[in-house]
A = this chain, B = another copy of it.
Amino acid sequence: MTENDPEQDTLSKTTEGAPMAIVLGDNRYGKSETRVVRIVRDTDRHTLRDRNVSTSLRGDFVDAHETGDQAHVLPTDTQKNTVFAYAREHGGSAPESYAVAVADRLLAACPYATGAQVRVEEYAWDRIPVGPADDRRGHDHSFVRRGTEARACAVTVEGRGDERRVHVLSGLTQLTVLKSTGSEFRGFLRDEFTTLAETDDRVLATSLTAWWRWGPDHPADFDTAYETVKATLLETFATTYSRALQETLHLMGKAVLEAQPALAEIRFSAPNKHHFVVDLSPFGIDNPGEVFHADDRPYGLIEAVVRRDDARDDAVAWRDVPGFC
């Protein structure tokens, strides 16, 4: 007789008699990538929130792992239903506000959970321009997907009542930017495997992922805050000279923190999307920085945090946010 199931299966590695030295460590569970679209149609001029929502719970779920007893487990199917149901009341607001509402609800529904994390990716749509050339306006209910990037947030709520703590990260992924000049790379460390030539004029391109963490004072309007941070990131990238992607990211982070006092830190993950000047000299053609090969792999990957000196650490906020130093 095995501890698992005597009738249906055949593995029987008995562990009886031995001191049970093997234990459950950290764990979480949830429902990932519920694709919910919320149309706000209070007037004929509709608005659209197009989201990919992932939820997870941490807490006392030992029995589910060790004995298969599900009494503490709020099913991931229920978490999905909650994502949809809460989209009805809260889905028209900023993703951060919606995420807080869902996280609070999951904690209320599952007393065995100690923390809930809700992550949202939001995809932007523009109104389709219609009308005569001298009076173009955005259509009331017809939209076209904008940009390659996704807005993102990751909200973690821990505790209840007086113990309740809300950790809010906002961010974006896949913001793809390129400078066709104003970038150099030289003066680097060399060893016997170094063949790279120094350059004082190169293409700099990245597909940026950035997350910024709000301190205790959240902005009144997360939507406006997002647009402002994104504009600062873009403008700093555009208007600063780059001695390395590291320096550019640092300048971008500083500019954001200077403009947004409520932010504690910002983190970047930035692939250096290499654009190699093509050697056309075998064909008797010069190439003064005009024809490039955009390579796929490998790529440099730069990850860095820019933070206020006095900001307290917040490991809980960043836990489970993938792909970051």
Contact = CB atoms under 8 A, between A and B. Distances in A.
Interface string A71-113: 1111111101110110110010000000000000000011010
A203 B290 CA distance: 33
Interface in A1-30: 2, 4-5, 7-11, 13, 15, 20-30
Interface string A223-250: 0000000010011111111111011011
Interface string A112-156: 100000000000010011100000000101111111100000000
Interface string A288-305: 111111111111111111
Q: A-B pairs with the 5 shortest C-beta distances?
A: A68-B243, A25-B305, A5-B241, A142-B238, A11-B239
A290 B22 contact: no
Interface string A270-283: 01100100101011
A163 to B, nearest CB: 21
A60 to B, nearest CB: 12
Given A8-B241, A29-B302, A109 B193 contact: yes
A220 interface: no
A194 to B, nearest CB: 4
A144 B8 contact: no
Contacts of A295: 35
A285 B193 CA distance: 11
Interface residues of A, number: 161
A222 interface: no
Nearest to A235: B130
Nearest to A68: B243
Given A35-B297, A74-B191, 12 more contacts: A25-B267, A33-B297, A35-B294, A36-B293, A39-B203, A39-B289, A48-B178, A54-B301, A68-B247, A109-B191, A146-B146, A319-B325
A181 to B, nearest CB: 5
Contacts of A300: 29-32, 76
A269 B158 CA distance: 22
Contacts of A291: 36-38, 84, 87-88, 91
Contacts of A41: 180-181, 288-290
Contacts of A25: 265, 267, 304-307
Contacts of A288: 41
Contacts of A161: none
15 contacts: A8-B182, A22-B258, A22-B307, A28-B325, A29-B303, A33-B299, A37-B292, A39-B289, A71-B187, A75-B188, A76-B272, A76-B300, A139-B238, A144-B177, A323-B323
A46 interface: yes
B244 A70 contact: yes
